[in-house]
Amino acid sequence: MKKLFPLFLLFLVSQTSFAIVPSAPTLDAKSYYLMDFLSGKVLASKDANLKLAPASLTKIMSSLVVFREINQGNLLLTDKVRVSEKAWRTPGSRMFIEVNKFVTIDELLHGMLVQSGNDATVALAEHVAGDEDTFAQLMNQAAKELGMVNSHFTNSTGLPDKDHYTTAHDLAILSQALIKESPELYKLNAIKEYTFNGIKQQNRNKLLWRDSTVDGIKTGHTEAAGYCLVSSAVRDKMRLISVVMGTDSVKARTNDNQTLLNFGYRFYKTHLLYKAQQKLTDERIWQGSQERLPVGLADNLYLTIPRNEYKELDANLRIQPQLMAPISKGQVIGTAQITLKGKTISKQPLIALQSVSKGSMMQVLKDKLLLMLE
């Protein structure tokens, strides 16, 4: 069964419209990726699956692993960590913790995410997993779970290693997962400066000063990686994630991220078309304890489309013919197909929003007769 469903009833139309959506910006960075947070729509990309050294962008994964431990109740922000000599001696950017001194998880997270301290990151890794090698295994397990198929981590900090790499695409889905899972802890990425042991250091993400809508997430730099930046911003309730890897300066990585974000917000809009568990239609169900079955989607359906093309959206609901009881809640019984200017842009499974048991013998016989007469 095919049904046309009126989309215009489900979302508000943006008042901003553009006659033409230009091509995505062309940047000199080795790789970049611009993605909508809710829909996952890719708005711009270049060599998004190119394996590159991530430098301190690695700390996004390190923070995800630590955040998960906190969310599961295995760590408290007030827990104290004894600083090992290895953590203290770790080269690169530093928080300036001291060997054998105790530092809280909260302080170390600030040191890792605001100051990009390698010493703080190793201290956290050792506390969570016992040693950094085991922590790297946790990082790789998380990467596999998230579908980061072109990533591999050998350390928590991003210090150069030939077997330590990721991609712009993988960093985008990693950042998306981190923000979804830990929205409160993610706010650490928006802090502009942090003082520890009397030493004040600024966040290296210059977009935090330039663009008030930017609230994270991480910079990175080594000779092998170049200058890298993953950023995220929210404008009019629309969050974008921008990844830029392999530029030649702090200015370039900052400008490239700003260019991508501005492009995405100027020409695209994300709409919530249907809410999870929203009844989209009632379908006839045969031989059941009731005659009508409410049908909808399991999850919210977000679509990111050009701002001037909302009138071109259409939806077709395709339901399996002759639905027979019993039906279980959540059972897939059809497909919602969304088209834009005649082109399919989304297919989502339609599910039963409630269970329907087998009807009485009388109801079953009645429906069998009705079906014979159809």
Active site residues: 56, 59, 116
271, two tokens:
């709409």
User: Please, what is the end-to-end C-alpha distance for the chain in angstroms?
Assistant: 15
The set of residues, in sequence order, having a beta carbon less than 8 Å from that of 142 and lying 6+ positions away, is 61, 64, 65, 68
The reply to whether omega before 217 is within 30° of 0 (cis) is yes
Phi then psi for residue 49, to 5 deg, are -105, 15
Query: Which amino acid would we find at residue 123?
Result: A
By CB atoms closer than 10 A (0-12, 13-18, 19+), residue 21 is: middle
7, two tokens:
């989309």
Query: Strand 301-306 relative to strand 343-352: parallel, antiparallel, unpaired?
Result: unpaired
- Tracing tokens 């969050």 back to the chain, one arrives at 239
Query: Strand 281-286 relative to strand 332-340: parallel, antiparallel, unpaired?
Result: unpaired
Quote the CA–CA distance of 237 and 304 in Å, as a whole number: 13
